């Protein structure tokens, strides 16, 4: 039986919110390993708070957008190094930093990280999906749903269980910049729409929801298609 291939984009702030969250990594690893008899996973890891802290510090010294972006890339790669080692023998031995690279994958797990300035790991994940012909990206973030407005500023903001790309892109806008905090990068969203990729937004702090999705059970989150 052919295995289902999925990309999971893991927000860096799940790996290291303030200190390294080894409890999250253990639970995430255990959940994924229970699935590898029927699925293969392409895990993209972001820079998260670590990236934003360095980017904020760099701004005080007049760093360029590219220089701040490199801080995010290295934070992503450091987080990915930890994730790759959590999976050890199940994982492709290299961290993929070029999502367009052609490789022969004989492992059940591949870990990827930031590529080059100008692109978020969301964008990189979309390019990886294009490279391998995948149509589904699970984006583990820190929100329960996509909302019509920022729920932190507007507590009554409407959540969406399903939303199409046109409507989503009107909510998030058109531009991306280093450190931007959005459910999914606006530039990546444009490409995902063109490629007809579905993105599933799930709160990574609630890993049971990811487990429900992987087991085709009802889950809390948003499907963008």
Count of all residues that appear for the chain in the document = 225
* pTM (2 d.p.): 0.92
To which H or E segment does residue 77 belong? helix 65-87
Question: Over pLDDT 70: what percentage of the chain?
Answer: 96
Quick check: 91 pLDDT over 60?
Answer: yes
Go through the domains of the chain in sequence order and give each one's CATH number: 4-224 (3.40.1160.10)
pLDDT-based confidence at residue 74 (cuts at 50, 70, 90) = very high
Beta strands in the chain (DSSP E): 4-10, 39-45, 109-112, 136-141, 146-147, 159-160, 162-163, 198-203, 222-224
Q: What is the pLDDT of residue 175?
A: 58
Q: What is the pLDDT of residue 176?
A: 54
The two three-digit tokens of residue 69, written as one number: 């972006």
Q: What is the pLDDT of residue 179?
A: 46
Gap between the Cα atoms of 219 and 132, Å rounded? 26
Q: What is the pLDDT of residue 150?
A: 80
The two three-digit tokens of residue 170, written as one number: 């009107």
221: left (phi over 0), alpha (psi -120 to 50) or beta: left
Q: At what angle do helices 48-60 and 65-87 cross, to 10 degrees?
A: 160
Gap between the Cα atoms of 188 and 176, Å rounded? 9
Q: Are 152 and 212 in contact (CB under 8 A)?
A: no
Q: What is the pLDDT of residue 128?
A: 96
Of 193, 191, 200, the residue nearest 138 (C-alpha): 200
pLDDT in tens, 152-185: 888 888 999 999 999 998 888 765 555 445 678 8
- Could you give phi then psi for residue 91, rounded to 5 degrees? -110, 145
pLDDT in tens, 119-165: 888 899 999 999 999 999 999 988 899 998 888 888 888 999 999 99
The two three-digit tokens of residue 14, written as one number: 């799940």
DSSP 159-190: EESEE-HHHHHHHH-S---TT---SS-HHHHH
Of 222, 223, 224, 212, the residue nearest 35 (C-alpha): 212
């Amino acid at each position: 039986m052919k295995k289902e291939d999925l990309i999971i984009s893991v927000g860096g702030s799940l790996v290291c919110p303030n200190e390294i969250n080894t409890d999250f990594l253990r639970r995430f690893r255990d959940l994924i390993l229970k699935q590898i008899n029927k699925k293969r996973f392409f895990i993209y890891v972001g820079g998260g708070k670590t990236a934003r802290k360095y980017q904020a510090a760099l701004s005080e010294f007049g760093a360029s957008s590219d220089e701040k972006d490199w801080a995010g890339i290295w934070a992503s790669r450091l987080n990915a190094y930890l994730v790759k080692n959590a999976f050890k023998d199940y994982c492709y031995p290299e961290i993929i930093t070029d999502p367009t690279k052609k490789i022969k994958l004989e492992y059940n797990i591949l870990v990827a990280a930031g590529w080059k300035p100008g692109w978020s790991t969301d964008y990189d994940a979309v390019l990886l999906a294009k490279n391998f012909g995948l149509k589904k990206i699970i984006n583990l973030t820190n929100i329960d749903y996509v909302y019509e407005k920022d729920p932190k500023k507007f507590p009554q903001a409407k959540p969406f269980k399903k939303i199409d790309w046109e409507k989503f892109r009107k909510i998030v806008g058109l531009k991306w910049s280093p450190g931007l905090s959005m459910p999914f990068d606006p530039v990546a969203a444009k490409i995902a729409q063109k490629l007809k990729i579905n993105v599933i937004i799930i709160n990574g702090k609630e890993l049971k929801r990811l487990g429900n999705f992987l087991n085709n059970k009802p889950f809390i989150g948003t499907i963008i298609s």
